[in-house]
Chains A and B, each alone.
Chain A
Amino acid sequence: MYDFDYHKPAHRADADTLLGRDNYKPLAGGMSLLPALKLRLNRHDGLVDLGALSDLQGIRRDGDAMVIGAMTTHATVAASDLLQQALSALCVLAEGIGDPLVRNRGTLGGSIANADPGADYPAAVLGLGATVITNRREIAGDAFFTGLFETALHSGEMITAVRFPLPQKAGYAKYRQPASRFAITGVFVAQTVAGVRVAVTGAGPSVFRFAAAEAALTRRFDAAALEGLTLAPEGLNSDIHAGADYRAHCVVEMTRRAVIAAG
């Protein structure tokens, strides 16, 4: 790991100022960024640790939505009574990330800012049609993930919270890589007032919506409605863990399981 300047501002305004410097980057839980720095896949002149900004933490209900601070850990989300009652699919998702020690440290904001193709949270952000709130603006979940490890975030921008609209029903199912626990394929399904949304992570370079499944489930929100449905493997990921054909199969199967999980 190359050396860098380290800052841990106590106030949001100081964080904003520091992030305006050239090649400075926010540090959340560090569960992805620090390993990337160790491998020298990344190099920054400065890291701005957001760990002291208490207003970036916590879970609260805001009308028909749940607002979760960017620095809220996966362990906190998984164990939240508030979420367990209002949006339990998110607890299931958070409980399946990495391992307990990673969940103690890793955060919602860090996960979606990194936009790993196998990360779980992007499926919830897209699947629920969430809004990503930053220090500068609000970004629709549909416009946030732009490619492999790419997001709509600008240099110097940091996520402060994510607003998840409450669905009528939601479920998440993933086929995990057994060593890393990343999603080989993960599917988040939500039935909302605006229709059914199905978001797929792990299968492609970036999280995407599965339109055919959305149409089928809009007609009837039942696993049986997916009978005979397929997804073309073109453009899906292939690696030593799973080929594109297999991932395409997994997408349909995980969609089915997510619908069952949604109840």
Chain B
Amino acid sequence: MPTVAMTVNGKAVAGTVEGRTLLVQFLREHLKLTGTHVGCDTSQCGCCTVHLNGTGVKSCTVLALACAGASVVTIEGLADGDTLHPMQEAFREHHGLQCGFCTPGMIMSAVDMVRRKGNDLDAQTIRKQLEGNICRCTGYHNIVLAVQAGAAAMKTAKA
């Protein structure tokens, strides 16, 4: 079976996989990074969102072998030690979660949204840009508030 090597959350990792092994399987089953969730497995729900070379992707629809040599960041790699990433902190502060299952994907997608759309986001933009992430608790109201606050906080954090 082929082997694959990549960087995950800043660490060099490698493993033996099949051609059909998905990135999310490699993360969860090989590396035991279970923060990345599988909700639908049909690229609808966005629970499996990670950053691949800095860009948000649904890791249930990316082959592990396609990520050879790439840099992957998962929800486990977002915080700086014990200090939460500003987007994580905003989700905590605004209670942007109910059951929490979609939350890792929401946060990774929100950080990608800031990359694409900047730090000053209105509610309409956030709702449109979150189309790839589904919360089955339907707790979108606080998620939108959290993304808005988190995006603004990322600007301050960067400055």
Complex CA gap A149/B68 in Å reads 31
- Size of the A side of the interface (Cβ < 8 Å), in residues, is 30
In the complex, what distance in Å separates the CA atom of A99 from the CA atom of B57? 11
- In the assembled complex, how far is the CB of residue B100 from the closest CB belonging to chain A, in whole angstroms? 20
Chain B residue total in the interface (Cβ 8 A): 28
Bound CA–CA A76/B147 (angstroms):
23
Q: Does A54 contact B (CB under 8 A)?
A: no
Q: Are A4 and B20 in contact, with the CB atoms below 8 A?
A: yes
Minimum distance in angstroms from A53 CB to a CB of chain B? 13
Instruction: Output the least CB separation between A63 and chain B (Å).
Output: 31
Flag whether B56 is at the interface (Cβ < 8 A). Answer: yes
Given contacts A4-B20, A6-B19, contact A99 B61 (CB under 8 A): no
What number of A-B contacts does a CB cutoff of 8 Å give? 79
Question: Which residues of B, 8-23, contact A by the 8 Å Cβ criterion?
Answer: 18-20
A46 to B113, CA, bound (A): 34
Instruction: Check A101 against B42 for contact (C-beta < 8 Å).
Output: no
Q: A6–B112 contact, CB under 8 A?
A: no
Contact call B109/A105, Cβ cutoff below 8 A: no
Question: 1/0 per residue B121-159: CB within 8 Å of A?
Answer: 000000001011100000000000000000000000000
Is A38 on the interface with B (CB-CB < 8 A)? yes
List residues of A whose CB falls within 8 A of some B CB: 1-6, 8, 27, 30-31, 34-35, 37-38, 46-47, 49, 51, 75, 79, 98-102, 104-105, 179-181
